[in-house]
Amino acid sequence: MGDSRFAIYKLRGPIGPAGMSTADQPVQQQSSLSFTGGFLLGQLSVVILVGAFIKFFIFGDPPSPETTASTRALARRNQDSAHKRTCSINSSPSAAGKSDTVFPSNVLRNPPRLTTPIILQKTYYNVDAHQPESLDWFNVLIAQTIAQFRTDAHQEEAILTSLTNVLNGSQKPDFLSSIKVTEISLGEDFPIFSNCRVHPVEDGFTEPDGARLQARMDVDLSDLITLGVDTKIILNWPKPLTAILPVALAVSIVRFSGTLSISFLPSASHPAPSSSANSTMSLQQPLSTTPTSLAFSFLPDYRLDINVRSLVGSRSRLQNIPKIAQMVENRLHAWVDERCVEPRVQQVALPSLWPRKKNTRGPPSEEGDGMGLKGTDPVRDIREEARREVEEERRKDREYREREAAAGMAEGLRWRSKAEGGGYEMPGAMPM
């Protein structure tokens, strides 16, 4: 019996307190140590990744405005050159193939063709030798217009109501609550235009008679135009209103500088679009006229400096997060690039400049016909004229209803007197 116990002890080793042999204990301790080390290593790697993300993506220093402006200008210039190459490849001499319909007339004499060189010659403007203009008079007119706009915007908080309606319109994302405007500043300074020069250009809007004329001028604005909003980010997953994060944002335009291009696009007549393939029927269709428009755009090397102030959170708040400022700045630059940076242009249809009586303003005319010159406030004159027209229409409608009611009453009394056999008649009625 003693030999068998000795043999078992010799084979398995000494038995521990839990019935476990002392030979298995080092293996279990080694596995527990490897698990603890792996767990700690994983936690440490997660902490390092989170810290690196917060440091470089949230609290990282943004690049300098000069570096950002040069990088964006280079990207826009490359995009503009690629667009011009595409237009030159896809363009065709369409002006030579156009057949303009000429209606002969014995009264209206045909003037000579006014090409771009003829216009420059008649206005004594030499594109190569003419000195750039300062545009001081234009700066004064623009300053008066902007000053009047700021005055009108502050009356009855018109701009506050308009911005609130626009920000809370149908385009507002679902994860945002109602947006409240907390700060509006339209600035105090005015843009300065200078260094204006005129030169011919050839692009997609080129006239059939030659290159169109374009005026380019430098514009510089150093001001503080601010818009501040307050909203809440709502997390609706996995269930509605899971979390709410208050956000306050204030965006200020500090400086804008660039080169503005202005040109006129003349009116053109072209056949209205039709799905019919018959050429005879298409020739008989009415012509669609495009009005004369003013086209303006900025060169890709413009500079827009923006200051963004942010406040995120309710109790422990994060202030002026650089990543939020960078996202807002990129979004504003993309908004400008998509609308009025070459090769894209903005077209504004010009009204008719022919003198008309209804557009005349000033003192009353000597003829006393009531249609002479009016007051100095065009908006008030238009409102008064509209009010008088509405009152005149209401008065005519009221008189017409009174006449109809009087005629109906007279007809009823005449029929009633005839039925009763009496001799009663309305005064002024026809004899029976």
Q: Does the pLDDT at position 351 exceed 60?
A: yes
User: What band does 375 get if pLDDT is binned at 50, 70 and 90?
Assistant: very low
For 394-415, how does the pLDDT look when each residue is reduced to its tens digit (9 = 90+)?
887 788 778 777 776 666 555 5
Q: Does the pLDDT at position 391 exceed 80?
A: yes
pLDDT for 97 equals 43
**pTM of the complete model:** 0.61
253-265 b/e (C-beta count within 10 Å ≥ 16 → b): beebbbbbbbbeb
**End-to-end Cα, the chain, rounded Å:** 155
Closest CA to 287 of 277, 299, 274: 274
Question: What is d(CA 355, CA 360) in angstroms, rounded to the nearest whole number?
Answer: 8
Question: What is d(CA 307, CA 375) in angstroms, rounded to the nearest whole number?
Answer: 44
User: What band does 189 get if pLDDT is binned at 50, 70 and 90?
Assistant: very high
- Region 40-52: mean pLDDT is 84
Residue type, 345: V
pLDDT for 105 equals 56
Question: What is d(CA 334, CA 167) in angstroms, rounded to the nearest whole number?
Answer: 18
* Angle between helical axes of 65-90 and 322-340 (0-180°, round to 10): 30
Query: Are 73 and 300 within 8 A, CB to CB?
Result: yes
For 300-314, how does the pLDDT look when each residue is reduced to its tens digit (9 = 90+)?
999 999 999 999 988
pLDDT for 193 equals 96
pLDDT for 403 equals 78
Instruction: Report, in this order, helix, strand and coil percent for the chain, each rounded to 5.
Output: 45, 25, 35
